[in-house]
Amino acid sequence: MKEVGQAPTVWALHDGKIGMANQVIGLAEALEWPFAEKRLTIRRPWSFLTPEMWFCPFWALGPESDALAPPWPDILIACGRNTVALARAIKRRSAGWSFWVQVQDPGFGRSAADLVVVPAHDRIAGENVFATLGAVHRVTATKIAAETRRFAPLFAGLPRPLVSVLIGGDNGAYRMTDRRFRTLCEQLAALAGQGFRLAITPSRRTAPERLALLRERIKGAAAYLWDGHGDNPYFAMLGIADAIIVTADSVSMISEAAATGKPVYIAELDGGSAKFARFHQAMRESGITRIFAGKIETWSYVPPDDTAHAAAEIRRRFARAR
């Protein structure tokens, strides 16, 4: 039993993928209770199996995984396909004590979770479901201000107006084709020619040949392109920007950009899906995003506060469960 006034123990469980880690850690940070990050590695044959087929889930942990052992946490926040079977197993081994929060649709075991935090475009309903506009994340005004000060010397040569560009890549729904990327490069070069400064960061899904083409097109422009070495000034780029361009493939990056309250442009890619279409429509109808067609305009909106709202829901339900 915990002493009166003692903070709950919290675990943030993910499999190391940056998009998953940022969501689960962001939600854990928003609770404002101390938490332990638990990074998993999954070994064969479990890495080849769907979570429904994971016999003895704890055996799936590879030697580099963080330990999952008693005392079990009061609150377990997990994100990603590879966490579902283990989160459910922790719930069982704790005899139901651990309050299990799953970020994103777990697909299976959904009814066993105490709370599922999922974007509304997934169209999942249930008593244990809390819907958000976009993805939960780690972006806060405090973090942006701190990182902007930290990286100020890096961007000292890029006065305003400045556009930050967040580039993704191929995923299960979208393809960054040569045609689309060449168009984006031409548009960015044109912005530079109009006097806009550029701060650009790729993701792990951005192909090296794409970056080579981009470097060639913006050569000589007042631009900064993160090369993947050293600390990523991502939050600082959000802070210094007058407007932000994001490729259409990333719900997380678009949600993070929207947290700034600045104009967010979407660079279209080939492909898509019904879920992505619903997300993009909701963001446009909320006045947050517009399609990038080579021009930069100014508008304002109330930034969504999905992460804080989801954290408040966790606190409310956890208190009720205790």
> Which tokens belong to 91?
């719930």
CA distances from 105 to 69, 95, 152 (A): 25, 23, 38
The two three-digit tokens of residue 89, written as one number: 């197993």
- Exposure string of 300-309, with b = 16+ CB inside 10 Å and e = fewer, is eeeebebbee
Q: What is the pLDDT of residue 2?
A: 59
> Can you read off the two tokens belonging to residue 242?
């007058």
In this predicted structure, the answer to whether residue 5 has a pLDDT above a threshold of 80 is no
pLDDT tens digits for 222-234?
999 998 888 999 9
Instruction: Report how far apart, in Å, the C-alpha atoms of 28 and of each of 56, 66, 95, 129, 246 are.
Output: 27, 17, 22, 18, 25
Cis bond upstream, residue 70 (ω within 30)? no
Q: Are 133 and 120 in contact (CB under 8 A)?
A: yes
- What is the average pLDDT value for the chain, to the nearest integer? 95
Q: In DSSP terms, which residues pair with 245 in a beta bridge?
A: 165, 265
Q: What is the pLDDT of residue 107?
A: 86
What's the pLDDT tens digit per position in 57-73?
A: 999 999 999 999 999 99
Rounded to an integer, the average pLDDT of 189-193 is 95
- Rounded to an integer, what distance in angstroms lies between the CA atom of residue 245 and that of residue 116? 30
Burial of 143 (0-12, 13-18, 19+ CB in 10 A): middle
Contact criterion met (CB below 8 Å) for 198 and 192: yes
What six digits make up the tokens of 60? 């799936």
Run of H or E including 85: helix 84-93
Task: Please give the pLDDT value at position 139.
Answer: 97
The helix or strand, by DSSP H or E, that contains position 36, with its residue range, turns out to be strand 35-39
- In this structure, are residues 314 and 115 in contact, taking their beta carbons and an 8 Å threshold? yes
Q: 161-187: per-residue pLDDT in tens?
A: 999 999 999 999 999 999 999 999 999
Q: What is residue 55's predicted lDDT score, i.e. its pLDDT?
A: 87
User: Would you say residue 4 has pLDDT above 70?
Assistant: no
Q: Which pLDDT belongs to residue 228? A: 85
Neighbours of 41 (CB within 10 A): 15
> What residue ranges in 113-196 does DSSP mark as E strands?
115-119, 129-132, 162-167, 174-175
Q: Which domains does the chain have, with CATH numbers?
A: 10-133+307-321 (3.40.50), 141-291 (3.40.50.2000)
**pLDDT number for residue 3:** 60
- What is the predicted pLDDT for the residue at 229? 87
**What pLDDT is attached to residue 6?**
87
Task: Say how far apart CA 235 and CA 238 lie, in whole Å.
Answer: 5
Percentage above 90 pLDDT, the chain: 89
Residues 130-151: what's their mean pLDDT?
A: 97
The predicted-structure confidence for 14-41, as pLDDT tens digits, reads as follows 999 999 999 999 999 999 999 999 999 9
Specify the higher pLDDT residue, 109 or 72. Answer: 72
Higher pLDDT, 3 or 277: 277
For 194-211, the pLDDT digits (tens) are 999 999 999 988 988 988
The set of residues, in sequence order, having a beta carbon less than 8 Å from that of 153 and lying 6+ positions away, is none
Band (159; pLDDT cuts 50, 70, 90): confident
- Alpha helices by DSSP H, listed for 172-305, are 178-193, 208-217, 234-240, 251-258, 274-285
Show the tokens assigned to 303: 């930034």
